[in-house]
Chain A
């Protein structure tokens, strides 16, 4: 049945990466007895070459992702290898430089590698955790279905409000028009409800209005509840009650959609760090290699 990229073929690449790291550590420990380790020793160059090859291989995942006719194994296998070998590369690169760091382009390359691996690790965490959260909180429904439900609820609220007085009609209409979903990157990631509502400005008289936050449809529900409490006509009362229920349902639905947008945003956000860092790493690696051979 379904096998995730983490336990792909019973952790095949996890064990390969572990073996690679153990081999490198063993070689490092043995060779350290013979001579002081640095990037310039025989083992240093070997480990550096292995790490550079691994980095190029890891970057090729981006190419494999876009070659849909590729006979070179499944994308999930590649991703699994990408993750485990990525962590192994960090270990090998650290052994390659024998933990010597300074203010130079070589360390810059290592730091970039570290950032790439850390951002990738964040990616693994969100890929492993968020799909389940998203699926659970959506409750078997797609985002499109939730949006359809929202538009139906708005339609019902408008229809109900149209049978009540103008004030309530305006209130409902403003609440619908100022319901806020999504927004810019930051707004999506924060997932706060920025819905607003236009209400009469009590301090300045009936002709003035002000926009206030309607987070969780709170103000709309409160105002409708006030109207409800003050109503005396039975039909009016029943419709208001229904409108209140619709507003309550909408609050839950808007919350669900906002959470969905936030989780989807977080699911993708790490890539916007990981990819530029990858390109930075490749550039730094190239400079590092050229510099090493130039000063050889």
Chain B
């Protein structure tokens, strides 16, 4: 009731505000011009460096790229810094590549979706190692009706986070699984989403998502020897993602123990993620 009223008031205020300020705006077109950079809260992870092309592919992240599950935003910018119109229409695929002297390999990837309001396309990459042995690149392929072109974007740096966000193990059937922590990305006291994504390394270049697992979680504070109540075990959603809830009763160092099962059998019973906040 109160909320409804507030909405009415806000609406009225907007109408009044708009009617009084309309005169000044008559000359302008109706598209709002962004007064500030829509990407100011993001970090540039890398930019394509094609000498023969004025357009740049820019890859943004929420923070500096790290070993683990990274949400990234891909955008093609004209030389004036605005989003290239054709980018909104193109088909976009990406492929991460670790380029090492002896060999190169790929990494788990979630392909870009449709452009968001900033013209950026969200994707995700699990960097499985830091940029120490070699450099990470993301090959961005733009395809329209006529042709396709690939831009190689060098990721400036992929760091090892203070607490491991990706862990790998061999299943009893000798498959190599990578489990990456997606949430909590910003843990706090109370109820937190707990989300992991699981991939299998079939080959150095093929990292499909693993579906059909069941999981149990058990958070504990090792220093104190206690856990927390009412956690929800992650359940499968899509693309190898599993979502549950983890409860933290205080700040400090938490260890979230996990048991992973496939077809009802334990495939890993001593996996854990450290989460300190």
Specify whether A and B are partners: no
Q: Which residues of A contact B (CB under 8 A)?
A: none
